[in-house]
Structure 1
Amino acid sequence: MFASRKSTCKTALLALSAGFLLGGCGGETTSSAESSTAVMSQSSGLVSQWVDPFIGTANEGNTYPGAVLPWGMASVVPQNIDFANDKNSAAYVFGKPYIYGFGHMQLSGVGCPSSGALPVKITTGELSLAQKDTRSRYSRELAQPGYYRVFLDTFGVLAEMSATTRSGISRYQVPAGQTNFIFDLALNQGETKGGTITHVSENRVEGFQAEGNFCDAGQMRKVFFSAEFSKPAASYAKFESPEFLKAAKRVEGGKYEGVHFSYDFAEATEIELRVGISFVSVENARENLKVEQQGKSFAQIRQSAAQAWEKELSVVKVQGGTPENNTKFYTALYHSLIMPQTYSDVNGEYLSMDGKTVRKAEGYTRYSTFSLWDTYRTVHPLITLTHPKQQTDMLKSMADMVHDSGWLPKWELFGMEAATMVGDPAVPVVVDSYRKGLTDFDVEAVYGAMVKAATQTEPFNHMRPGLKHYRELGYIPQDDRGGEGKDFGWFNGIVWGTVSTTLEYNLADWNIAKLAEALGKTEDAKAFHEQSLSYRKLYDEETGFLRPRNVDGSWMTPFNPLDRHWDIRWEMSGGPGYVEGTAWQYLFFVPHDMPGLIDIMGEEQFIARLDESFDEFYFDMTNEPDIQYPFLYNYVAGKEYRTQEEVRYAVDKYFTTSPWGIPGNDDAGTLSAWLVFAMMGFYPDLVGEPSYQLALPSFARIDIDLDQNYYPGESFSIVVDNFKDTHRYLADKKVNGEPLAAFQLSHDAIVKGGTMTLTTSQYREVK
């Protein structure tokens, strides 16, 4: 889709006796700050050397190559999209010819335009604010965890970026003559633009910029900032943004204004820009910057960023893989640990869901940007296993949202409920974590919010539109879903995808039943479990699909199981009755009752339809609804080898080490976390159940360090005997020397620690 104008620069970390060093790619000219360093070979032992942040920056993966820390609030990101004239879900698309500036807060992999706050442009020569005069062709890109570098060819400027959790730092090597820095608050990635400059001096600018209206949800928040230069400017001035921007949605109390700083250097010079951000106040942004950066050089901040990533990524260590698989795996793990993002400031303060009250997180980090319809499937189960401290803080954050608003989140963004997507997706996240031992949060309050969302039909329930019919009929009828699809909105009660939404409610209800059971609420458990099986009313024996149904029980006609157009106002939004998919991609979406679905269909038909979904390419790895399909063969004895085949095929075919290497929107790390699980050889197909489906790993050995503050074991290892490319089938499996009969692995077996030994074969055999 996009012409490549440069080769992707592979990540290279460098070593000093202190731990980490900085460096460029072979054959490229390094800056003076880097000239004394040498490129580390990829036998260094640092797992972060394998990360390539350019993966996913094309093919609508919507990732970015900028500098960010694990779960960081701030990120310094190149923007090669013209936000003045274009709307795009990514700040950076590989192959675009110009860089327009560098933003300081970015979402990763999402499918709607938002974020990109506080874009800063740098130019040389006479000052001009016109877009065509502030863009630059670019080259010599380098991206590493916590670091980004690019040369702005048009202006002769070498730009480098790094970050702390709540602040960014940029270092510029500029030529002699006039250099200009431009802050334009009318430019960001989303549809809500504008802001206010509250303070400006010769080396500092402060204020706020609007963020919000995610996926047309209509809400906004202020991103406060405090930015300071390492040198005083020769001149500076506020300006009003060009007239053509004024059709944008303006933040209340904000303006389409900006400020420019100009310098006149007698010789080539290095200048730094440091930016702190906050969702609470300018004062907090200033404090975030001070606490996280004061007294630290660019090199020290970059080194700390590299160390932070190495620490989190090295929780999982792999051996025996190809260089390509190492890069795929650790880049996927990297992308899985970017969101959710830190929301509380260094003093613990954060803005509550009402947009007015400032609260304080005591002893934990308050997180934001919960893309739950996506991330409940893979990201949160992964963090639960590998980073239980962060997942526990995320559970506490969701409990905070309940205390603030009375509801669990659906798609929470910067303290706003965007209500994007369908179902009740926080429920499986909470229950899955709770049943895996993460219980240090206000579970009773959260359970109450679950029951409220699952039962309250009046007044309006934004969490579960269509709930009245769902509770009465067991499904949401296609001919009475709250309104016409063309009028759909996230808060107006119209249901997007009657079948899909019913199935999502079923999964949530099954999870509520499991939590109720754990809490001793027997009657609730029985009622919600019964409700979770109502998908059976949508199974049409004649067509063999879960099919849209009307109020009177008749089937929706006409019915085309391959249709994915126009269920709501967005093209390709899903066929009538489905969300971002077809009837084929929802046929097996009953993870909580797979044996029941197999019983309804019959084993032979179940396998035949599953085979057909892969053989005819109805399976869609680019989106979430059917990503568990490759693992479903494990439910039929003797067919488990097909899971091993299809998982291997998906890992090899759909994921690569190129910028096109993620098959679709990464959706806050969801597809990346799928890849992490698939390459480790186990997968949480039923979120809420503490077990995993087994497949064949992509490595000879995998070691997972366990956090003993949460889990009893020290580490869990997976060792693959006869690890060869020709040996693609599991012949035998043991955990701590004991045979494992089923092709499932319990979470308990992992977190107790020990070793799972897998024996492979080139033949399809089961023992």
Structure 2
Amino acid sequence: MKRTFASSTRALGQRLGLGLGILATGAMLYGCDTEQNTASNTPTPAAVAEASSVTQWVDPFIGTANEGNTYPGAVLPWGMASVVPQNIDFSKHKNSAAYHFGAEHIYGFGHMQLSGVGCPSSGALPVKAITGELALTPEETRSRYSKEQAEPGYYKVFLDTFNVWAEMTATTRSGITKYHFPAGKAHLVFDLAVNQGEMRGGRFSELSANRIEGYQIEGNFCDAGQERKIYFSAELSQPAAVYGQFDSPAFLETQKRTPNADYVGASFSYEFAEPTELELRVGISFVSVENARENLVTEQGKKSFAELRKAANAAWEKELSVVEVTGGRKEDKTKFYTALYHSLIMPHVSSDVNGEYLSVDGETVKKAEGFTRYSTFSLWDTYRTVHPLITLTHPEQQLDMVRSMVDTAEDSGWLPKWELIGMEAATMVGDPAVPVIVDTYRKGLKDFDVETAYQAMVKAGTQYETFNLLRPGIKHYLDLGYIPMDDRGGEPMEFGWFNGIVWGPVSTTLEYNLADWNISKLAEELGYEEDAKRFYEQAQSYRKLYDEETGFLRPRNKDGSWMTPFDPLDRHWDIRWKMSGGQGYVEGTAWQYLFFVPHDIPGLIDLMGEEQFIDRLSSSFENYYFDMTNEPDIQYPFLFNYVEGQEHRTQDIVTFAVDKYFNTTPWGIPGNDDAGTLSAWLAFAMMGFYPDLVGEPQYQLATPSFESITIKLDKDFYPGDEFRIEVENFAEENRYIASKSLNGKPFNPFQLQHEDMVKGGVLKVTASERAALN
């Protein structure tokens, strides 16, 4: 969808007070700009997508407010490169997003960006376009802006302060920006000291009148400490009259220099006799400048901006049209296809066009043979929704992502946890690559080195004599069945990702339980019977944390006593920062972890009693203990399906959540999108099925948001052509399921098997205004 902001961004920011009232009515804050700008330097817009395309329903501005941390820049599916507006002053502020809707100024355009994450990172090679006298500081080079326009693979904005249009598109490993300068003095300024990440600086290896090459430092993601280099090769369509390197003045006294990097910049200056278009083409690589140059030449060649923009749109059209929806409200189509769009941005391609990529040791250059190497695995988030979605809709890419994870294990001995450009940040908790790999394998995608993957899983699940990268606290976990509150590996304020201290002992124990259940299922498939038994028993240890008196999974001490005092609604402090989770929990409360036993919900029901399970689960929604903004409890709306006769509650709550927490404005994602995790939740929920237990090849059913959903299956990986869900008696008020049939036969379960889906066929759902009660 092409969105144009006709009013100035500053004016919209001043109207944010009205925004909440407008949002409550469902009205839109912005619309298409019909005003024609007749300035001689205004670009002629490229042809937009035809009316039949699905890209018309994507609005990249969704999630750019409300800490969704998405962006409206130009990127391809799983693209390494992205050209993104930066409207935050990174010389003064750390921020997890490059762009906040409503911010007053644009400070530049970066060329590699993460989507929806919660820690500052990326934003490499920021470029600033200015007119008049050459200026270098952020205050002098920033610009007010208006007339923003974004669609998949394309972004355009008018820089009001300098009277410059900028429009950009991308290929997988490169970007191109077309600047439309007025007559007079014009400059492009590159500053390697200004990027979004925690580590700053870089060096130029070549600087000439129309080319600049070098690297910028990236690293310390979420305080993990490591660093990598983002190599770039940039060329200008016209040679500069004057060019040169400068020291970044704003940083020399206030910032600590990064080793092996300088706080430097470069400027390219022009004197245009008439309005002029200037193109900047940038290739990036994580390996070398030479590879960045090769990526640029190979992917862009001599193609025009218009040709590259058209190709970018076609790439998105191809990947998004794997799912076709009909019927329903227009805003629901926008919500759905934007959610699918955000689900396909990360992980990122990390191998170059020649197949080379950087190993996790940060030094060895390897070559991907027969697969594409991926990076940027935000696994604590994405194992829940993003990877199960890609497994179904894009199995080729998912298989390569699993191969990339196994490659990490081959090089380091460990599967990834939160891996970024080959750097293991070890961020968050649990052992999250395990459910992704097991889920992929059990859904029929087995063409990877499963033995190497399995041995790495077993290592992480058993090793406590020496340092365990993936599972801090494992000795207590294996000995006691849980990680105690009074011995989590060190003093709480000394917490770090690599020092063995446990954040959230209850949450971490539950995550290990889920991983162990998955290892048990994979061991069964591979014939390791003893391992299967052992890991299954480990997965049941959540029972030792269930306190019958309070009815919660509660923190416990090493001697078996319960932690006191205990407040199930506390979420203000555990170990890292305010609001990091109540004592014993990770980014949540005891309520938000009460049902986090996805691998054994029937067992949890037995522990609690069916009546209390239903009552507690209902209370979590009625009292707004449920938190749609974060991952720990996002499967809870689907758990009523485990109790016969209560399935209508899942249908009701899922429909409510889709309507309440998501909308088509910049505030349209309820929290950090976390590399597409909340967006993928929405995509599943709107299709009417959800993978509540990752590792088990089945889905929980809910009421679809559309009259028809067609998933085109990849014949290279699945036996069927397509799987279709059809809703009879479809209407907005008919939010309940009265009956179902699968391929013409009555279908009573509220669980749909993955095997039945990928064979192809039709699930027919009859909707009703009234809930079907037993």
TM-score tier by shorter-chain length is over 0.9
Pick one of 708, 711, 728 that aligns with 2:715. 708
Pick one of 174, 178, 185 that aligns with 1:178. 185
RMSD: 1.7
In 2, Cα distance between equivalents of 1:374 and 1:246? 38
Pick one of 248, 271, 279 that aligns with 2:278. 271
Map 1:512-531 → 2, pairs under 5 A: 512-531=519-538
Matched, 1:697 2:666: no
The match for 1:29 is 37
**Contact residue 732 and residue 766 of structure 1 kept, 8 A:** no
Map 1:467-478 → 2, pairs under 5 A: 467-478=474-485
Residue 575 of structure 2 aligns to which amino acid in structure 1? I
In 2, Cα distance between equivalents of 1:521 and 1:409? 23
The match for 2:760 is 753
In structure 2, the residue corresponding to 1:96 is in which secondary structure? coil
Residue 7 and residue 73 in structure 1: after superposition, are their counterparts in 2 closer, same or farther (change >3 A)? farther
The match for 2:265 is 258
Map 1:488-507 → 2, pairs under 5 A: 488-507=495-514
Residue 6 and residue 678 in structure 1: after superposition, are their counterparts in 2 closer, same or farther (change >3 A)? farther
Pick one of 191, 194, 199 that aligns with 2:198. 191
CA shift, 1:193, in A, is 0.1
The match for 1:131 is 138
The match for 2:728 is 721
The match for 2:591 is 584
The match for 1:12 is none
Residue 237 of structure 1 aligns to which amino acid in structure 2? G
The match for 2:73 is 66
CA shift, 1:215, in A, is 0.3
Bigger mean CA offset, 77-86 vs 246-255 = 246-255
Residue 300 and residue 112 in structure 1: after superposition, are their counterparts in 2 closer, same or farther (change >3 A)? same
Residue 564 and residue 7 in structure 1: after superposition, are their counterparts in 2 closer, same or farther (change >3 A)? closer
CA shift, 1:595, in A, is 0.1
The match for 1:664 is 671
Task: For structure 2, list consecutive stretches of 5 or more residues without a partner in the other structure.
Answer: 1-8, 17-30
**Contact residue 477 and residue 498 of structure 1 kept, 8 A:** yes
Residue 92 of structure 2 aligns to which amino acid in structure 1? N
TM-score (norm 2): 0.95
CA shift, 1:462, in A, is 1.5
In 1, Cα distance between equivalents of 2:382 and 2:674? 7
Residue 36 and residue 208 in structure 1: after superposition, are their counterparts in 2 closer, same or farther (change >3 A)? closer
In 1, Cα distance between equivalents of 2:271 and 2:678? 47
In 1, Cα distance between equivalents of 2:115 and 2:46? 31
Matched, 1:483 2:490: yes
The match for 1:147 is 154
CA shift, 1:246, in A, is 5.0
In 1, Cα distance between equivalents of 2:252 and 2:86? 18
Residue 688 of structure 2 aligns to which amino acid in structure 1? G
In 2, Cα distance between equivalents of 1:592 and 1:643? 18
**Post-superposition CA distance 1:220-249 (Å, at most 9, x none):** 100000000000000001000115355445
Matched, 1:544 2:580: no
**Contact residue 192 and residue 249 of structure 1 kept, 8 A:** no
Q: Percent identity?
A: 72
In 2, Cα distance between equivalents of 1:713 and 1:459? 47
In 1, Cα distance between equivalents of 2:601 and 2:45? 59
**Contact residue 42 and residue 165 of structure 2 kept, 8 A:** no
CA shift, 1:4, in A, is 2.7
CA shift, 1:764, in A, is 1.3
In 2, Cα distance between equivalents of 1:39 and 1:446? 45
CA shift, 1:303, in A, is 0.3
**Post-superposition CA distance 1:702-742 (Å, at most 9, x none):** 00000010000000000000001121110101110122221
In 2, Cα distance between equivalents of 1:87 and 1:586? 30
Pick one of 207, 225, 230 that aligns with 1:218. 225
Pick one of 633, 648, 658 that aligns with 1:641. 648
In 1, Cα distance between equivalents of 2:558 and 2:248? 53
In 1, Cα distance between equivalents of 2:252 and 2:242? 25
**Contact residue 67 and residue 163 of structure 1 kept, 8 A:** yes
The match for 1:338 is 345
The match for 1:423 is 430
In structure 2, the residue corresponding to 1:76 is in which secondary structure? strand
**Contact residue 193 and residue 251 of structure 2 kept, 8 A:** no
The match for 1:208 is 215
Map 1:3-14 → 2, pairs under 5 A: 4-5=12-13
The match for 1:533 is 540
In 2, Cα distance between equivalents of 1:333 and 1:246? 45
Residue 654 and residue 49 in structure 1: after superposition, are their counterparts in 2 closer, same or farther (change >3 A)? same
The match for 2:4 is none
Q: How many residues align?
A: 751
Task: For structure 1, list consecutive stretches of 5 or more residues without a partner in the other structure.
Answer: 9-22
Map 1:283-682 → 2, pairs under 5 A: 283-682=290-689
In structure 2, the residue corresponding to 1:608 is in which secondary structure? helix
CA shift, 1:25, in A, is 4.2
In 2, Cα distance between equivalents of 1:328 and 1:640? 25
In 1, Cα distance between equivalents of 2:323 and 2:635? 22
**Post-superposition CA distance 1:182-240 (Å, at most 9, x none):** 11000100110000011100000000000110000000100000000000000001000
Residue 246 and residue 336 in structure 1: after superposition, are their counterparts in 2 closer, same or farther (change >3 A)? farther
**Post-superposition CA distance 1:535-589 (Å, at most 9, x none):** 0000000000000000000000000000001101311000000000000000000
CA shift, 1:762, in A, is 1.1
TM-score (norm 1): 0.96
**Post-superposition CA distance 1:403-453 (Å, at most 9, x none):** 110100000000010000000000000000000001111100010000000
**Post-superposition CA distance 1:164-194 (Å, at most 9, x none):** 0000000011001110111100010011000
**Contact residue 139 and residue 151 of structure 1 kept, 8 A:** yes
In 2, Cα distance between equivalents of 1:221 and 1:6? 39
**Post-superposition CA distance 1:484-537 (Å, at most 9, x none):** 222110001110000000000000000000000000111100100010000000
Moved runs in structure 1, 4+ residues, more than 2 A? 1-8, 23-41, 243-252
The match for 1:17 is none
The match for 2:25 is none
In 1, Cα distance between equivalents of 2:69 and 2:256? 24
In 1, Cα distance between equivalents of 2:253 and 2:518? 47
The match for 1:234 is 241
In structure 2, the residue corresponding to 1:724 is in which secondary structure? coil
The match for 1:18 is none
In 1, Cα distance between equivalents of 2:256 and 2:681? 37
Residue 241 of structure 1 aligns to which amino acid in structure 2? S
Residue 501 of structure 2 aligns to which amino acid in structure 1? I
**Post-superposition CA distance 1:670-701 (Å, at most 9, x none):** 00000000000000000000000000000000
The match for 2:59 is 52
**Contact residue 191 and residue 248 of structure 1 kept, 8 A:** no
**Contact residue 42 and residue 180 of structure 2 kept, 8 A:** no
CA shift, 1:50, in A, is 0.4
CA shift, 1:2, in A, is 9.9
Residue 37 and residue 398 in structure 1: after superposition, are their counterparts in 2 closer, same or farther (change >3 A)? closer
Residue 33 and residue 81 in structure 1: after superposition, are their counterparts in 2 closer, same or farther (change >3 A)? closer
